[in-house]
Amino acid sequence: MRTGAGQPAGCSAKAGGLKLGLAAVLLSLPAIAVELEEAQDLLRGRWYAAEVIIFERLNSNEAGPEDLVRFDERFYPANIRAMAEPNPWSAAELDPFTRVCLEFPRLEVRLPNPPSPAPAEDAGIQPQPTAPIADRGAPTSLVEEMPRREPPTIHPTLAPHPLLDLLSAAVAAERLLQQNSYRWLDASALQLQAEARRIRQAPNLQLIWHGRWMQPTPARDAGEPLLLQVGPQSNSLHALEGTLQITLGRYLHFQAELWRPAQRPPASESGEQGAFPYVTLNQSRTMRSGELHYLDHPEVGVLVRIDPVPPAAELVKALELWKRASA
């Protein structure tokens, strides 16, 4: 179980991975000059930016006779992770261990202040008078005669080298990616503005959420569902809740499991209204990067596109300089 800004050992933390990865790169780069072709090879994992548009149909009651409203209990997966932002989630339906892992980056750690030593009078110890310097006698060794000097300050430096510049650029690029991962990016980064505008202008559609984030994409068997809770709350429920998940195998895989509170919950057989009725969308797609995919549903629709995150320009430049120097 992982979080965006840090995690305890029980949540599969990979502390020190960056240092170990760079050490391996440092030892192996001279031997794989021919194999190292792309700047991405210096980064841990493959980074992608995903953008989703989620909307609802205002005339969903005309979709057909199918009963879409559900009353059974909803469950979040145990390995869910949250956005690395303040208070991005509600803990009502999460198990305790999941709540601990999601909250871990925001816990305030306070170290206890060490107790102050008690004064000599309070401890019952009388302070011993110090003899004047003139009464201490002559120095007994040559060491006492030498004046005390501060040790010299050493500033070690390394000679400039393209390999060191390349590793420094890789560290900086990795750090910047990690700082911006699992965060909703600014509106200026959105690539599906035209599609969102058409949805807003459609008389029978209403946009619920439009967001973009980037992350290192795990393998197919190591997916990490990303918690989504967006829109205004009503009766402790958001306008939309659920999970989004991206994994990478031969192709990219996207999965969305979304819940939306039912607008017109039907009555049960006893005539009573069910607790927290909702409609759900649970679909997945196999896709290539840069493709726009549509997940259809009688009440909720999803547009999604996943693009590779280009490496930092400084890293690309450092790689080219190293290649020239090692040619």
258 in the same domain as 198: yes
Start-to-end CA distance of the chain, whole Å, equals 44
* Residue 54: predicted pLDDT: 95
Q: Are residues 259 and 319 part of one domain?
A: no
Order of strands across the sheet that contains 292-295: 205-217, 46-57, 300-308, 292-295
Is position 66 within any domain? yes
Kindly state whether residue 121 falls inside one of the protein's structural domains.
no
Q: What kind and span of H or E run contains 301? A: strand 300-308
Residue 3 lies in a domain: no
Are 169 and 264 in the same domain?
Answer: no
Local confidence pLDDT in tens for the 327 residues of the chain: 444 444 444 454 444 444 444 445 454 544 444 456 688 888 888 999 999 999 998 876 554 445 678 887 778 888 888 887 765 555 555 555 565 566 555 445 455 566 666 555 555 556 565 555 555 555 555 555 666 778 888 877 777 788 888 989 999 999 999 989 999 999 999 999 999 999 999 999 999 999 999 999 999 989 999 999 887 777 667 888 999 999 999 999 999 999 888 765 455 444 444 467 888 899 999 999 999 999 988 889 999 999 999 999 999 999 999 888 887
Separation in Å, CA 118 to CA 15, 115, 130, 259: 40, 9, 20, 61
State both tokens at 226.
């990303």
Looking from the CA of 318 toward its CB, the CA atoms found within 13 Å total 22
Q: How far apart are CA 195 and CA 186, in angstroms?
A: 17
Same structural domain, 263 and 189: yes
- Please check whether residue 291 lies inside any domain of the structure: yes
Q: What pLDDT, on a 0 to 100 scale, did the predictor assign at position 192?
A: 96
What are the beta bridge partners of residue 292? 305
Q: Determine, yes or no, domain membership for 142.
A: no
In this structure, the answer to whether residues 192 and 319 fall within a common structural domain is no
Which pair of structure tokens corresponds to residue 118? 């008690």
Of 241, 242, 240, 249, the C-alpha closest to 285 is 249
Please name which of 316, 45, 320, 2 lies closest in space to residue 177, comparing C-alpha atoms: 45
What is the distance between the alpha carbons of residues 285 and 105, in angstroms, rounded to a whole number?
A: 32
Measured CA distances, 38 to 29, 176, 312 (Å): 13, 18, 12
Q: What is d(CA 39, CA 313) in angstroms, rounded to the nearest whole number? A: 9
79: tokens are 């390995």
Task: Write the DSSP assignment of 51-103 as a string of letters.
Answer: EEEEEEETTGGGS-S----B-SPP---TT-B--SSSS----TTS-HHHHHHHH
Does residue 51 sit in the same domain as residue 68? Answer: yes
Whether residue 304 sits in one domain with residue 203: yes
Query: Residue 22: in which H helix or E strand, if any?
Result: helix 17-28
Amino acid present at 130: T
Q: Pseudo-torsion of CA 209, 211, 216, 221, nearest 10°?
A: 20
Judge if 171 and 297 occupy the same domain: no
Same domain flag for 74 and 194: yes
- Helix extents (H) in 60-148: 96-103, 142-145
Return d(Cα 177, Cα 183) in angstroms, integer: 11
Please give the pLDDT value at position 53: 96
Identify the domain containing residue 244 by its residue range.
Answer: 46-84+185-310
Domain count, the chain: 2
Q: Based on the fold, state whether residues 60 and 194 are members of the same structural domain.
A: yes
CA neighbor of 175 nearest in space, from 9, 8, 19: 19
CA atoms of 87 and 286, how far apart (whole Å) = 32
293 found inside a domain: yes
Whether residue 204 is found in the same domain as residue 300: yes
Residue 287 falls inside a structural domain: yes
Domain-embedded: residue 135: no
Alpha-carbon distance of 258 to 242, in angstroms, equals 4
List the alpha helices (DSSP H) in 104-209.
142-145, 162-180, 193-201
Q: How far apart are CA 259 and CA 77, in angstroms?
A: 14
Instruction: Say what the pLDDT of residue 130 is.
Output: 58
Residues 301 and 324 in one domain: no
